[in-house]
Amino acid sequence: MKWLRTLVLFDKDDVIDSLGWATIHESYVRSIASIDYLEGSGTLTLKRKQRVAGGQWQRNGVNYLRARFLNHMITAEGWKAEGVVDLSRDRQQPAIRLYPSKELYREPITSDFGGFDFVTTASDGLRVAIEWETGNISSSHRSMNKLAIALTNGIIDAGVLILPSRALYEHLTDRIGNIGELSGYLAMWENLKAGVTKGLLAITVVEHDALTDGDHPYLPAGNDGRAREGRAKASKA
């Protein structure tokens, strides 16, 4: 798999120049490059999407990519997965105004955000959370918002979202997140830096090495909602 680029949306207190950031970035880029298919081939070669009966598209599944990335980070790169980051429900909410009374009000937090895909601490103490995002587009927005909230609350020092290029997206499960669909929102997330004392928020874009046709198998599909939906449509065709 290819690393294409890393977009640093904001950097407060020069995290970008820290040893911890350089080390973790080099490490997760190596983990991206380790993802191949067929396994052992050295390259991520995907079967091109194809029309099937009824006009539906047959595409590659996505769970394999995330599993390979996380496994390499732990077993080959030697990072320790440090568990769930607590985005607590009892953190202080901003005071907002009600209408028409105009009185100040704090809405209670009644939902959980869930953990990040990978959380670790670099040798210099830099706390890093990584989200590998090959879920649907709404999941990509949720991941970015979770990272931004963790940075704003000082829970982590660097937050990274890894997601497909537009070219890779075309051959994966329908409607997954990709840099093309997030590009219009980058300015919004960049503007969140004003609320961060120390922290870096980044998006890393990844892509396949090659496309092929013929007998090459598709990446196995998981049991997420989009995959089930796609299989159901194809079976009805």
Give the active site residues: 133
Q: What are the residues facing 50 on neighbouring strands?
A: 58
Q: d(Cα 96, Cα 107) in Å, to the nearest integer?
A: 8
Q: d(Cα 133, Cα 137) in Å, to the nearest integer?
A: 9
Distances (CA, A) of 77 to 44, 91, 199: 19, 34, 23
**Residues 145-173: b if buried by 16+ CB within 10 A, e if exposed:** ebbbbbbbbebbbbbbbbbbbeebbbbbb
